[in-house]
């Protein structure tokens, strides 16, 4: 299997293209700075992952920015920090401030020359529109949790994407799903027989950060530590 075997790259966005962990840590600082116990970066991200995942299961149709507000409320309760609903809403709106990884824009610009590009993200459309300005590329298709009414790792999100890509003349065998999260993306890709590429952004860190432990490690067809490494491997294949 080669990178050049595929016609479309379907990207998870947050954690893969956008550095959501750094964005979360910064946006949560007004809360974490008032916590009664010392919280490490990993403590904060793991707690966020727990509350986000459980809330996505309970309210799968809630817009992501609104869901993040509930996550903020749960974190404040867990850490015994007094906060207001306005604070929670402000956190939900912080997605627009989350930065792209340093290699993202250049990599997407290069990959757009060779592939069609699509997004499959656990986000709402308005929030992604802000992030898309940071990504500086026109995606051929954008599929959000708001469009679908559920959150990954629900299989229906992937089924929706695969079905809609077929209307663009792209078959499942044309797709290389490209993502950081094992829990949200690669486990489901394995289940559906979808080729996948792991962008292992957390290769130099312990644990799973802002995502849940996937349990048994899924298989991935490609693994790179960054999008820049993906591009380097593709250049080597095409002799560029």
Hey, which bits of the chain come out as E strands? 8-11, 116-121, 141-144, 175-179, 196-199, 222-224
Architecture of domain 21-97: Orthogonal Bundle (1.10)
What is the rounded average pLDDT of the residues 188-205?
Answer: 95
What pLDDT sits at residue 37?
87
Please calculate the CA angle 121-71-189 and round it to the nearest 5 degrees. Answer: 30
- State phi, psi for 169 to the nearest 5 degrees: 85, 20
pLDDT digits (tens, 9 = 90+) for 103-162: 999 999 999 999 999 999 999 999 999 999 999 999 999 999 999 999 999 999 999 999
- At residue 150, the 3 state secondary structure works out as coil
Tell me the domain boundaries of the chain: 3-19+99-238, 21-97
Question: 239: pLDDT confidence band, cut at 50, 70 and 90?
Answer: confident
Hey, which bits of 102-161 come out as E strands? 116-121, 141-144
Residue 240 has pLDDT above 80, yes or no: no
> Which of 15, 131, 144 lies closest to 67 in space, CA to CA?
144
CATH pick for 3-19+99-238 out of 3.40.50.300, 3.40.50.1000, 1.10.760.10, 3.65.10.10 = 3.40.50.1000
**Catalytic amino acids?**
12
């Amino acid at each position: 299997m080669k990178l050049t075997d595929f016609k479309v790259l379907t990207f998870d966005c947050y954690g893969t293209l956008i550095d959501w962990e750094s964005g979360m840590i910064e946006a949560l600082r007004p809360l974490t700075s008032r916590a009664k116990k010392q919280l490490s970066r990993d403590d904060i991200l793991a707690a966020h992952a727990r509350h986000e995942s459980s809330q996505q299961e309970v309210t799968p149709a809630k817009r992501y920015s609104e869901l993040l507000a509930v996550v903020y409320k749960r974190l404040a309760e867990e850490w015994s920090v007094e906060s207001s609903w306005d604070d929670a809403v402000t956190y939900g709106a912080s997605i627009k401030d989350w930065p792209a990884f340093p290699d993202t824009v250049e990599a997407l610009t290069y990959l757009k020359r060779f592939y069609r590009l699509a997004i499959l993200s656990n986000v709402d459309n308005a929030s992604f529109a802000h992030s898309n300005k940071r990504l500086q590329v026109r995606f051929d298709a954008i599929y959000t949790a708001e469009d679908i009414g559920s959150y990954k790792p629900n299989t229906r999100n992937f089924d929706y994407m695969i079905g809609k890509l077929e209307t663009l003349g792209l078959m499942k065998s044309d797709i290389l799903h490209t993502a950081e999260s094992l829990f949200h993306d690669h486990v489901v890709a394995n289940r559906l027989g979808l080729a996948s590429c792991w962008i292992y952004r957390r290769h130099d860190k312990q644990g799973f950060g802002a995502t849940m432990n996937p349990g048994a490690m899924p298989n991935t067809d490609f693994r790179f530590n960054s999008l820049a490494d993906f591009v380097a491997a593709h250049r080597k294949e095409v002799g560029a």
